[in-house]
A and B are shown apart, each in its own frame.
Chain A
Amino acid sequence: MLNKVNLDLPASPDDIAKLAIGSIVFLNGIVYTAREGVYNKVLVDGRELPDDLTSRSNVNFHCSPAASKNENGEFHIGGVTATASFRFSKYLAQWLDLTNTKIVIGKGGMPVNDYKNILAPRGAVYLTTVGYGTGALLGRGVQSVDAVHWLNELGIAQALWIFKVKNFGPFLVDSDLQGNSLFAQQGELINQNVEGLYDGLKEPALHRYGETGNRKDELM
Chain B
Amino acid sequence: MTKPVLHLQPRVKTMISNATLEQASYEIMKKAAIDIPEDYLAGIKSVAAKESEQLSGFVIKTMINNYEAATEDRRPMCADTGLPRYYVKVGDHARFDGGFTGMERAMRSATARATIDVPLRPNRVHPLWRTDNNNNVGINSPEVEWSFEPDADWIDITTVHKGGLFGTDYRMLFPGDGIDGIKRFLLDTLISFGKRGLCCQPAIIGIGLGGSKDTCMQLGKQAACLRVVGNRNPDPKIAELEVELKDVANGIGMGPMGFVGSSMAVDLHIEVGHTHTGGMPISVHTFCLSSRRATARIHADDTIEYRTDPMWFTPYYRRETVIWENT
Contacts and interface: CB of A to CB of B under 8 A. Distances in A.
Interface string B104-133: 000000000001111111110100000010
Interface in A156-207: 156-157, 170, 172, 183, 186-187, 189-190, 193-194, 197-198, 201-202, 204-206
A139 interface: yes
Contacts of B178: 202
Nearest to A84: B198
Interface in B177-196: 177-178, 180-181, 183-185, 187, 191, 195-196
A202 B116 CA distance: 51
Contacts of B55: 2, 22, 172, 186
Contacts of A63: 79
B258 A134 contact: no
Contacts of B176: 205
A78 B79 contact: yes
Interface string B136-160: 0000000000000000000000000
A64 B258 CA distance: 23
A60 interface: no
Contacts of A186: 55, 258-260
How many B residues touch the partner, as a band? 35 or more
Most buried by A among B60, B77, B132: B77
Contacts of A131: 59-60, 62-63, 66, 197, 200, 256-257, 289
Given A137-B65, A204-B177, A208-B171, A79 B58 contact: no
Interface in A128-145: 128, 130-140
Interface in A24-62: 24
Contacts of B197: 108, 131-132
A66 B120 contact: yes
Contacts of A109: 196
Interface string B45-69: 0000000001100111011011101
Contact of A187 (B81, B185, B258): B258
A64 B198 contact: no
A65 interface: yes
B195 A68 contact: no
B119 A201 contact: no
Contacts of A24: 58
A99 interface: no
Contacts of B120: 66, 78
A93 interface: no
Nearest to B182: A201
B264 to A, nearest CB: 11
B254 interface: yes
B235 interface: no
A139 B75 contact: yes
B66 A134 contact: yes
B171 A140 contact: no
Contacts of B132: 155-157
B165 interface: yes
B258 A2 contact: no
B290 A190 contact: no
Given A131-B66, A198-B184, 8 more contacts: A22-B55, A64-B79, A131-B200, A132-B78, A136-B70, A170-B62, A190-B253, A193-B252
Interface of A: 2, 22, 24, 63-68, 76, 78-81, 83-84, 107-109, 128, 130-140, 155-157, 170, 172, 183, 186-187, 189-190, 193-194, 197-198, 201-202, 204-206, 208
22 contacts: A2-B58, A24-B58, A63-B79, A66-B76, A66-B80, A68-B117, A68-B119, A130-B62, A132-B197, A133-B66, A133-B200, A135-B79, A136-B69, A136-B70, A136-B76, A139-B73, A156-B122, A183-B196, A183-B257, A183-B258, A190-B252, A205-B176
